[in-house]
Amino acid sequence: MPRCPICALPNPTGEPCGRCLQKRPAFDHVVCPLRYAYPANALVLGLKYRGGLAFARPLAACLADALEAEPYPDIVIPMPLSPSRLAERGFNQAAELARLAVSAFGLETSTGLVRRNRECAPQASLPWKERARNVRNAFDCDANLQGKSVAVVDDVLTTGATLNELALALKRQGATLVTGWIAARTLPQQ
């Protein structure tokens, strides 16, 4: 299925979509093998909200298959959780996906380069139009990323607001390319 090469939304031509052409996001490219629908959504929900770490394996395997043709980045970063969300969940689902997906390529993940600097409402609880404001300036990065390519791993891409905000923080530190490696993509609301 052809997709926008920037945000991974399906489109008939495989060219950048109108939304990305109108307002280019800070991230450069998204690799996303699954649509956020059954069974992928059941796996994500089981991983994220029921502590089913075994659900990470099939999601990571699909992601790894999609990454085979991708160039290796200099750095792989799982989407960071806030300290309270990490304590509540007991693990970072993006870190689990990253660890499993990139091990096949001999890559490692870097978990300490970026952090959430404040608590945000869960994106899934907000209307799509409020998500960008919710995560604005929510990430800090002190690492020197001058000239580096970075892949950010996450479970779901919906509006792209969280990935965009993290990409802004990474590019402020010198990253030249930010790619989202995302397990599942939510399609726009009709």
Mean pLDDT of 11-29: 94
Q: Which pLDDT value is given to residue 137?
A: 78
DSSP track, 68-83: TTSPPPSEEEEPPPPH
pLDDT, tens digit (0-9, with 9 covering 90-100), for 130-152: 676 666 777 899 999 999 999 99
Reference 141, options 177, 162, 116; nearest CA is: 116
Task: Return the minimum-mean-pLDDT range out of 21-25, 138-142, 170-174.
Answer: 138-142
User: End-to-end distance of the chain based on CA atoms, in angstroms?
Assistant: 19
The model's confidence at residue 190, banded by pLDDT at 50, 70 and 90, is very low
Q: Which pLDDT value is given to residue 131?
A: 72
CA dist 156 and 81 (Å) reads 14
Q: Where are the domains of the chain?
A: 31-111+128-185
Q: Which pLDDT value is given to residue 116?
A: 86
Which is more confidently placed, 125 or 92?
Answer: 92
Indicate whether 78 pLDDT > 80.
Answer: yes
Find where tokens 């091990």 sit. 103
pLDDT, tens digit (0-9, with 9 covering 90-100), for 41-69: 999 999 999 999 999 999 999 999 999 88
The model's confidence at residue 82, banded by pLDDT at 50, 70 and 90, is confident
Mean pLDDT of 8-36: 95
| Tokens of residue 17, six digits | 């979509």
pLDDT, tens digit (0-9, with 9 covering 90-100), for 105-134: 989 899 889 998 877 666 666 676 767 666
Among the four given CATH numbers 3.30.450, 1.10.287, 3.40.50, 3.30.1330, the one describing domain 31-111+128-185: 3.40.50
